[in-house]
Amino acid sequence: MKKGKSRRFLLWTFLTCVLSFAGLFCYYTERIIPDRINIIRNQEEIVRLPLPLHATLQSESEEVVLGSGSNIPQGQVTLTNTHEFSLYGKSEGSYLLSLDLFGLIRFKEIQVDVVNTQYAIPCGAPVGIYLKSNGVMVIGTSEITGHDGTSSEPAAGILKSGDYIESINGYHLETKEDLAEAVAALDTQSAVLTIRRGEEIMDVAIDPVTDRDGTKKLGIWVRSDTQGIGTLTYLDLNGRFGALGHGISDSDTGEVVQISQGALYDTEIVGIEKGSMGNPGVMSGVIYYGPGSLLGEINANSEVGIFGTANEKFRTAINMQPLEVGYRQDVKKGPALIRSGISGEIKDYQIEIQKVDYSTSHQNKSLVIQVTDPELLALTGGIVQGMSGSPIIQNGKLVGAVTHVFIQDSTRGYGIFVENMLQNSSNPHTP
């Protein structure tokens, strides 16, 4: 009886160890082996596998050259006991490479994009940001005390935080002021609101309440615009820009704001609250609105940043040399630079890239960085709010941007691969 229990225990322990190892292995390989590689057309790219494993590499095209110059056939090429191989892209396009363990178990598919060399100007300039939402965003609902003294919440269960109101009784809305005027002018018992909830558009009816002042209200908190200060990451050779490295979310709902339009403006940094443990710090500034201060138009707000086109005035003012764009396989742990104008002068500061996640599961948290520059540490304590978008430069290439600061350690934070931003800049969209 005891022997049977011991055997079951040992078997259970063995299975647990195997499953744990398999889980750790999958987690490890997901992050250290890229699931996407950009290679420059007519240049050799060395791909290193950090695992001493037999592998089979498959290609669906003959336009990519493997190893010593022979084309990958329509079938497969087996790589035995190798940590590295080379790829050579003969023509632009996307190709699929499949990585198998021992030629039997598929554990990774790598998309290979053959591209021309890209260049962009790493900017690092603080900018004022203004976004106008696509519709009037619902922040939440609230109770209203009516003229008879009773309380009610007319929008409860009908509207949700993150809804966008497009019209009321057929009247198109652009601002929260438009909504207030339309509600005040209602001459019917019910208001029919056309709202956008995710990808769905629907009509909902709400009975307004007349408050003690005689004003009709729907009992909703709304917002129609957002503004703030961030950092411009890059300006490409066609005048398109990317900034922040993450989306602008509503402060109350946490949702990425869906925009109809937006703009960049001149800004002046007037104060810096240094970061410390539990306090990420912040830079404060004045945004100069008006035609003479306009720097460019924003046409996309996405999970990986804001994007748009710089005007001629701003393009002329950017007096910096473009750098070659580095892709995720170019980024290594070790010394790097961030570029920032937080001091009033655009300068490069020393950082250390401590971790690189080559997968695409966390697009704006692919890098862990630490500020090591004594001057920047003395000025800011590390990374502060407003520095999101500061370009990261390594080995003379633009490779990423700062996105987040660690709350418990203001010297450290996350970064994004710049290729993720450039891809969005070329194909702008809102979520």
CATH of residue 313: 2.40.10.120
Question: Do residue 188 and residue 279 come from a single domain?
Answer: no
Which pLDDT value is given to residue 63? 46
* Radius of gyration, alpha carbons of the chain: 27
Question: Do residue 256 and residue 358 come from a single domain?
Answer: yes
Q: How many separate domains does the chain show?
A: 4
**Which residue type occupies 360?**
T
Which pLDDT value is given to residue 39? 72
Q: Which helix (H) or strand (E) holds 374?
A: helix 374-380
Question: Do residue 240 and residue 361 come from a single domain?
Answer: yes
- Residue 135 in domain: no
Which pLDDT value is given to residue 192? 92
- Residue 284 in domain: yes
Question: Do residue 255 and residue 397 come from a single domain?
Answer: yes
Question: Do residue 124 and residue 104 come from a single domain?
Answer: no
Find residue 287's DSSP bridge partners: 267
Question: What's the CA gap between 424 and 419, in Å, rounded?
Answer: 9
Sequence-distant (≥ 6) Cβ neighbours of residue 254 within 8 angstroms: none
- Residue 137 in domain: no
Which pLDDT value is given to residue 105? 64
Distances (CA, A) of 294 to 18, 56, 121, 235, 268: 60, 54, 20, 16, 14
Work out the number of other CB atoms within 10 angstroms of the CB of residue 48: 12
- Residue 160 in domain: yes
Question: What's the CA gap between 26 and 18, in Å, rounded?
Answer: 12
**Which residue type occupies 145?**
T
Phi then psi dihedrals of residue 264, to 5 deg:
-100, 140
The β-bridge relationship of strands 171-172 and 191-197 is unpaired
Q: Which residues of the chain have pLDDT under 70?
A: 1-11, 13-34, 42-92, 97-108, 188, 360-361, 425-431
Cα 282–chain centre separation: 20
Question: Do residue 270 and residue 402 come from a single domain?
Answer: yes
Question: Do residue 155 and residue 257 come from a single domain?
Answer: no
- Residue 431 in domain: no
Q: Give the torsion sign (CA, 392, 124, 279, 226).
A: negative
Question: Do residue 299 and residue 244 come from a single domain?
Answer: yes
- Residue 136 in domain: no
The β-bridge relationship of strands 259-273 and 209-210 is unpaired
Q: Where are the beta strands (DSSP E) in 303-363?
A: 305-310, 323-325, 334-340, 347-356
Instruction: Determine contact, residues 99/56, Cβ cutoff 8 Å.
Output: yes
Work out the number of other CB atoms within 10 angstroms of the CB of residue 27: 11
Question: Do residue 105 and residue 60 come from a single domain?
Answer: yes
In terms of residue numbers, what domain contains 25? 1-32
Question: Do residue 333 and residue 402 come from a single domain?
Answer: yes
Work out the number of other CB atoms within 10 angstroms of the CB of residue 328: 23
40: CATH? 2.60.40.3450
Which pLDDT value is given to residue 382? 93
Q: Which helix (H) or strand (E) holds 55?
A: strand 55-59
Question: Do residue 264 and residue 411 come from a single domain?
Answer: yes
Work out the number of other CB atoms within 10 angstroms of the CB of residue 412: 19
Q: Which helix (H) or strand (E) holds 18?
A: helix 2-32
Which pLDDT value is given to residue 431? 39
Q: Which of 165, 184, 218 is the last residue of a domain?
A: 218
Using CB atoms within 10 Å of the CB of residue 279, give its burial: 0 to 12 exposed, 13 to 18 middle, 19+ buried: middle
Nearest residue to 391 via CA among 236, 244, 240, 228 = 244
Query: Model pTM?
Result: 0.80
150: CATH? 2.30.42.10
Which pLDDT value is given to residue 343? 92
Which pLDDT value is given to residue 163? 92
Structure tokens at 211: 């408050």
**Which residue type occupies 107?**
F
Question: What's the CA gap between 156 and 163, in Å, rounded?
Answer: 13
- Residue 286 in domain: yes
Q: Indicate the length of the chain as a whole number.
A: 431
Find residue 103's DSSP bridge partners: none
Question: Do residue 421 and residue 359 come from a single domain?
Answer: yes
Structure tokens at 74: 């329509």
b vs e for 205-244, b when ≥16 Cβ sit within 10 Å of the residue's Cβ? ebebbeeeeeebbbbbebbbbbebbbbbbbbbeeebbbbb
Which pLDDT value is given to residue 411? 94
Sequence-distant (≥ 6) Cβ neighbours of residue 361 within 8 angstroms: 30
